[in-house]
Structure 1
Amino acid sequence: MRITLAEEITLLSLDDESGAVKQRQSVGWAVAGALLIELVLAKRVRVSGTYLELVDSPPIGEELLDGRAESIRTWMRGRSKRRVSDWLAKDQAKAIGAAVERLSGRGVVVEERRKALGMFPVRRFPEADGTVERELRERLAAAVLKGAEPDERTASLIAVIHAAGLHGLAFPGSPGKEIKARTAELADGQWAAESIRSAIRDMRLAMAAVTAATVT
């Protein structure tokens, strides 16, 4: 089963048993960035410098991506371009929920509803089909741990993982220093078009700004 980059990031972040999202703030930025990058790969949007532009093209046929493209169109309000960082800041709070719903619709995770302390409604999404995550982790391990040459989508995924600092979620138990060095090498490679590089760069800058503001 092929899932989107955003769903892959989300799947890596979900606890297999409880279905809770780990590192939720960083994952939110990563999922929003992954959605945008996949829209760039599909030529539905274009990133020029720090600006985001819509491309007049037919639907992709993937509801998660087509839905995001329409959300961007609405957000643009008829403008020819808007800042990438502004869109990511807007979308990061909602991106995880959209990706989880799509994973649930595919049967990869299952929705569970319960009440915390008997009062507060809580939704969790434990894994239902482990083969998708297993194949995903094998693909990442081949590129990062075994030195295989990743395709464009896998390289994009690794770049997002590196930018968001999700090394521990993607490669649990592996030496952190070595993982970061290899993901940095792949992220800085020549595989990506400038529009993808710009989207990843803006995601990192936006995350850094939010982190600095939170600390302050």
Structure 2
Amino acid sequence: MTVTLAEEIMLLSLDDESGAAKDKASAAWAVAGGILLDLALAGRVAVADKRLRTVDPTPTDVPLLDERLRKITDWSANRRSAKVAAWLTKDQSKAPRATLDSLVSRGLVAEERRHALGIFPVRRYPEADGSVERELRGRLSGVVLHGGTPDDRTTGLIALLHGAKLHRIAFPDVPRKRVEARMAQIADGQWAGDGVREAIRDMQAAMVTVTVVTLAAAAG
């Protein structure tokens, strides 16, 4: 089964048994970035000079991506400067829900609804089919821990995880120091094509910008 980068990040962030999300705030930025990078890899959008534009509105036939492609096209149409950071800021609160719905529809996670303290509605997404996540974690281990050569999508995934500081959800049983340098090397390396590398760089820069702004606002 082929899954999107956003779905892969979301699977990594969910506790398999409880279905609770870990590092929710950081994962939300990475999920939004994953959708954007998949659209760039599919040739539907271009990310350059920290700006975003639609280059081909043709549907990809992946509902999660096509919904965002329509939104990006409408959003950027009347903007002189459609910055990547502005789109990620806009979409990071919405992309996780759309991604979870996609995982449920694919049968990879189950949706459980309950009320905390009998009052507050809570949704959890425990694992329903672990085969995709097992393959994913095996692929990440092969590249990061055992020196394998990543393809474009794996390079993008590792770059997004590294940029959002999600080392712990990717490698929960491995000390961060052991994986951080290798993930940075991959994110900054020459494995991906020029267009993908530029998209990764711009999205990493955007995530750093919005993270700093978010933390400053919280501190204020």
TM-score by length of 2: 0.94
Which whole-Å CA distance do the structure 2 matches of 1:179 and 1:205 have between them?
23
Aligned length: 216
- Residue 38 (structure 2) pairs with residue 38 (structure 1): yes
Q: Which residue of 1 aligns with 2:167?
A: 167
2:157 matched to which residue of 1?
Answer: 157
Shift of 1:118: 1.1
Q: 2:58 and 2:69 mapped to 1: Cα distance?
A: 11
SS of 1:47's equivalent in the other structure is: strand
Deviation at 1:74, TM superposition (A): 2.3
Taking the aligned partners of 1:99 and 1:213, their CA distance within structure 2 comes to 27
Give RMSD over aligned pairs. Answer: 1.3
* Preserved CA contact (<8 Å) 1:85 1:203: yes
Identity between Structure 1 and Structure 2 (%): 53
Matches within 5 A, 1:94-133: 94-133=94-133
CA contact (8 A) 1:45 1:55 kept: yes
8 A contact 1:54–1:81 mirrored in 2: no
Alignment check: 8 A CA contact 2:59 2:66 kept: yes
Deviations 1:45-98 (A, max 9, x none): 111211111113411111100110111122224336411111100100111111
| 1:209 aligned residue | 213
Question: Does structure 2 conserve the Cα–Cα contact (< 8 Å) formed by 1:108 and 1:129?
Answer: yes
Does the Cα contact within 8 Å between 2:6 and 2:34 map onto a contact in 1? Answer: yes
Asked if structure 2 preserves the Cα contact closer than 8 Å seen for 1:54 and 1:80, the reply is no
The one-letter code of the counterpart of 2:136 is L
Q: Hey, what does 2:138 align to over in structure 1?
A: 138
SS in structure 1 opposite 2:34?
helix
Which of structure 1's runs of 4+ aligned residues deviate more than 4 A?
none
Distance 1:136 1:35 in 2: 17
Q: Does 1:54 align with 2:49?
A: no
Residues 33, 160 of structure 1: 8 Å contact kept: yes
Q: State whether structure 2 residue 147 is matched by structure 1 residue 147.
A: yes
Does the CA-based 8 Å contact 1:43-1:57 persist in structure 2?
Answer: no
Q: Which runs of 5 or more residues in structure 1 are unaligned? A: none
Aligned residues of 1:53 and 1:81 also touching (Cα < 8 A): no
